[in-house]
Structure 1
Amino acid sequence: MNQAIKIIASDEALTKNTKFQVYTERQLDKIKPLQKLTEEQRFEMRVVANVLPFRVNQYVIDELIDWSDIPNDPIFQLTFPQRGMLYPEDYQRMADALQRDAERSEISVIANEIRQKLNPHPAGQQEMNVPTLDGEPLPGMQHKYRETVLFFPSQGQVCHSYCTFCFRWAQFIGDKELRFASNEAGSLHAYLAQNKDVTDVLITGGDPMVMKTHHLKGYLDGMLHPSLDHVQSIRIGTKSLTFWPQRYVTDPDADELLALFERLVKGGKHVALMAHFNHWREMETPIVREAIRRIRDTGVVIRAQAPVVKHINDDPAVWARMWDTQVRLGIIPYYMFVERDTGAKRYFEVPLIRTYEIYREAIKQVSGLARTARGPSMSAGPGKVEIQGVVEIAGEKVFALRFIQGRNPDWVQRIFFAKYDENATWFDDLKPALGEDKFFFSDEYDAMQAVAYDE
């Protein structure tokens, strides 16, 4: 299969769009295809882009978006601002400011006030997940689950392009208080050395694959030290295979990057590229298929995950084709997530019952190799909660739920029930069922919150 992909990828296809060209809100008017849209459409984008982060690159514009299908094209929805992302009153407030050419300082104030309504750090990320080393907090790290530490390298706090639904949108708006970032490789390695229960490290962002390889080496080569033998797996969360697959093929340090991957694998680490694919279209270009082939040749495993989001992939056929494509390319389908309760969720959220139906209808269409995809999963405050189905117990219709991960490992695999609610879109919307006044973990989780917020 890998050889077939290599043959398809011609030299011309691989050398197209090798110069990275990025556009932000300030350069919206320079994106040529947008000039075909109405002035009103372009203004609406500008309004939203002054509140939520916007960044897109030439590869996405030229290779991934079908400009004859605007605004419905899924990759356009994935990367370009849409009016419905803001509440009408917030949209109008920003629009009025732009129309009267308000000072940038006023626009910033309005934008920040709107952002504060959008739950910039869901699930207790700042208060409950930041670990300490020798009594000092490590703000560039999160340690929510016993076995897994998340690390946010400071050089990786942007992305090649921004997803419009991203739950880490607060990382990209210039407010340092809302950012997780660290350039302290030594602190990371020291913390891991002191925590022998940690088996997995997830390098995340932003997108760590925006970093030059010599920066990545500073963080990853240290993982081969004998003091970190207990760290078995290195995960790298990235959207680069969609937004800039050239990172692995034609970038000046692409070969050096792949050599780093190979060195880690030969050193005994399981290295997993946690790829974010939202639609099968993202895997259709020759350069992304060549990138996938080159990564897999190093011994790195690619796993794929994404949330169900309205306007992009809220269709079982899209997911079935996406999972089939991933298996064909040697990628392991990993997670289907529920869209988080943050940012532009009002535009993208899908009711939990519909999300579950999409998962069930899609999983029925694929072979066992694609049924490795777990979900729908909510990365909520207490942990990762999976919707297992809708059942009737003692005459009551309920959601059957279970923990895939929990702040307390004893919660994992525990099944519990919530009242059926056709309008619920997130875990916090759910109420205990079967006469219970609280979920089985509620008291313990409340105590955890009390300690974290008191500190």
Structure 2
Amino acid sequence: MPFTPPAAMETERFRAYGARHVDELSARFGIPQPIARSMKALAAVLPFRVNEYVLANLVDWDNIPGDPIFQMVFPQSGMLPAEDERRLAELVDDPAAKKELRLAVQQIRGSLNPHPSGQKQLNVPTEDGQEVPGLQHKYRETVLYFPGQGQTCHAYCTYCFRWAQFVGDADLRFAVPEPSRLIDYLGRHPEVDDVLVTGGDPMIMSTDRLRSHLEPLLDVTTVRTIRIGTKSVAYWPQRFVTDSDADDVLRLFEKVVASGRNLAVMMHFTHPRELESDIARRAVERIRATGALAYCQAPLVAHVNDDPDTWSATWRAELAAGAVPYYMFVERDTGPYEYFKVPLARAHDIFRSAYLTLPGLARTVRGPVMSATPGKVVVDGVTETPDGRYFQLRMLQARDPRLVGRPFRAHYSETAAWLDDLRLADDTPADIAAAIGGTLPAVTDAIESASWLSPELARA
């Protein structure tokens, strides 16, 4: 069904603020000087960007620094080790220390595991001995595509596992200027029926630019689903309502749907406040009116949403807006991980407590899910046995498709926050143990034997 043009609304111009605006923002919103000094120091390492909509509509300025949205978008003391923060604060304030600051920033970023879960080592496909730029191919049926013009966002999340995309280091960045290599790759890999356009945020692009990346996919008959990963509905819903090309982007969505493909807009909502504004709900409504599917996902992060009531309210708000609650992710082991991580035992308790409050239509959500090196691993529960307590785990998705759906166990831990922290049970199947074992050769062997890379198995 065609979308309906919005009622008259005031067009708001997008304006972003970064590290050089910290003093301006501090004066405007009354940010205490100790907090502002920490923000300046940390913003030398961690990407910082916010916009007028977030500042005016989402942050509770009477509750800083504890406000969850403030924690989400402003660098905070504690996100880096105290010694690194102290060192940065000294160098940032010293005009004569620019070279030393650059070296310190490079060193600290390198210690933050910029590409977790094998993104650089394992996910980037190679052909004829050369990496295919701007792509990741972790799962048989799905390719991730990083259009170069979409590798920024309307605002940056402090917990973002792709923070390395935004720091200006080409060696850390996934990006490609146009889709010809993607189209060629898809032609040689007919097993791929799902392309996830990601970033950054593809919706930061103009409609004309986005069209140049999406329309060529419509000529690839084997691609049946196109997904767009975006935080824009939360951070800049004007993109779909009042921006000058808002109607154009919705017509582009309609064209994709009319081609017979599924178009899924993968919306990122971390807190229910992001869906409280009329314009955010209107953005979801307009997207859905094009025939696009609306799915929602976000990580569980300390200081932001690590309680059942927040998740219950978020999932209910998504359902009320007509979107599908999809994933609660576990915060990945990258960036300011120690600040944001939530132990798996507590993550499971939060998920279960929130899940019990939901109506049936919202129980589509899955979690807590670790998007780890071997694949997506969900914590299904905790079991008591004569031998002790165990996490009941399951491979929701896997590099080796033969592992998908397979259950296994790990010894219960109050402190483990990631797959690598767990000790697998003695009865773990050998192929799952090899994939999860933490050694790249074991994972590589699993990939090389997987059916999506084996013509013999693919024909079977």
Q: TM-score, normalised by structure 2?
A: 0.92
Letter in 1 for 2:10: T
State the partner residue of 1:323.
Answer: 315
State the partner residue of 2:40.
Answer: 46
CA displacement 1:54-105 (0-9 Å, x = unmatched): 0000110011111111111111111001011011111111122234444322
**Shift, 1:373, TM fit:** 0.5
State the partner residue of 1:413.
Answer: 405
Letter in 2 for 1:443: A
Q: State, as a whole percentage, how many aligned pairs show the same letter.
A: 48
Equivalent-residue separation in structure 1 for 2:7 and 2:27 (angstroms): 26
Mapped pair 1:24 → 2:18: yes
State the partner residue of 2:452.
Answer: none
State the partner residue of 1:353.
Answer: 345
SS class of match (1:326): helix
Equivalent-residue separation in structure 2 for 1:329 and 1:154 (angstroms): 31
**Shift, 1:37, TM fit:** 2.4
Equivalent-residue separation in structure 1 for 2:386 and 2:407 (angstroms): 17
Conserved? CA contact 1:416–1:439, under 8 Å: no
Letter in 2 for 1:147: E
State the partner residue of 1:15.
Answer: 10
Conserved? CA contact 2:73–2:158, under 8 Å: yes
**Shift, 1:440, TM fit:** 3.9
State the partner residue of 2:134.
Answer: 140
**Shift, 1:434, TM fit:** 3.8
Conserved? CA contact 1:127–1:452, under 8 Å: no
Conserved? CA contact 1:151–1:204, under 8 Å: yes
Mapped pair 1:244 → 2:239: no
State the partner residue of 1:386.
Answer: 378
Q: How does 1:290-301 map to 2 (within 5 A)?
A: 290-301=282-293
Mapped pair 1:362 → 2:354: yes
Q: How does 1:256-275 map to 2 (within 5 A)?
A: 256-275=248-267
CA displacement 1:382-416 (0-9 Å, x = unmatched): 00000011102332211110000001001011111
Equivalent-residue separation in structure 1 for 2:65 and 2:79 (angstroms): 14
**Shift, 1:441, TM fit:** 2.2
Equivalent-residue separation in structure 1 for 2:146 and 2:430 (angstroms): 32
State the partner residue of 1:108.
Answer: 102
Equivalent-residue separation in structure 2 for 1:196 and 1:432 (angstroms): 36
Mean Cα deviation higher: 29-38 or 58-67: 29-38
State the partner residue of 1:307.
Answer: 299
Aligned length: 443
Mapped pair 1:443 → 2:434: yes
Letter in 2 for 1:216: L
State the partner residue of 2:279.
Answer: 287
CA displacement 1:317-369 (0-9 Å, x = unmatched): 11111111111110000000000000011111111000000000000001111
State the partner residue of 1:190.
Answer: 184
SS class of match (1:229): coil
Specify every segment of 5 or more residues in structure 2 that has no aligned partner in the other structure, as ranges.
448-460
Equivalent-residue separation in structure 1 for 2:273 and 2:48 (angstroms): 21
Q: TM-score, normalised by structure 1?
A: 0.93
Conserved? CA contact 1:29–1:35, under 8 Å: no
State the partner residue of 1:172.
Answer: 166
Label 1:133 to 1:440 Cα distance change in 2 as closer, same or farther (>3 A): closer
State the partner residue of 2:153.
Answer: 159
Label 1:371 to 1:102 Cα distance change in 2 as closer, same or farther (>3 A): farther
State the partner residue of 2:324.
Answer: 332
Equivalent-residue separation in structure 2 for 1:364 and 1:168 (angstroms): 32
**Shift, 1:32, TM fit:** 5.5
Equivalent-residue separation in structure 2 for 1:203 and 1:179 (angstroms): 15
Mapped pair 1:85 → 2:79: yes
SS class of match (2:405): coil
**Shift, 1:40, TM fit:** 1.4
SS class of match (2:233): helix
Mean Cα deviation higher: 186-195 or 354-363: 186-195
State the partner residue of 1:371.
Answer: 363
Equivalent-residue separation in structure 1 for 2:261 and 2:295 (angstroms): 16
Letter in 2 for 1:87: P
Conserved? CA contact 2:424–2:433, under 8 Å: no
Letter in 2 for 1:132: T
CA displacement 1:222-245 (0-9 Å, x = unmatched): 1221xx222111000000001111
Conserved? CA contact 1:33–1:67, under 8 Å: no
Label 1:224 to 1:312 Cα distance change in 2 as closer, same or farther (>3 A): same
Letter in 2 for 1:441: I
Mapped pair 1:218 → 2:209: no
SS class of match (1:150): strand
Conserved? CA contact 1:196–1:230, under 8 Å: yes
Equivalent-residue separation in structure 2 for 1:53 and 1:233 (angstroms): 31
Conserved? CA contact 1:128–1:452, under 8 Å: no
Equivalent-residue separation in structure 1 for 2:337 and 2:241 (angstroms): 35
Specify every segment of 5 or more residues in structure 1 that has no aligned partner in the other structure, as ranges.
none
Equivalent-residue separation in structure 1 for 2:308 and 2:369 (angstroms): 16
SS class of match (2:222): coil
Label 1:354 to 1:444 Cα distance change in 2 as closer, same or farther (>3 A): closer
**Shift, 1:134, TM fit:** 5.0
**Shift, 1:207, TM fit:** 0.6
State the partner residue of 1:428.
Answer: 420
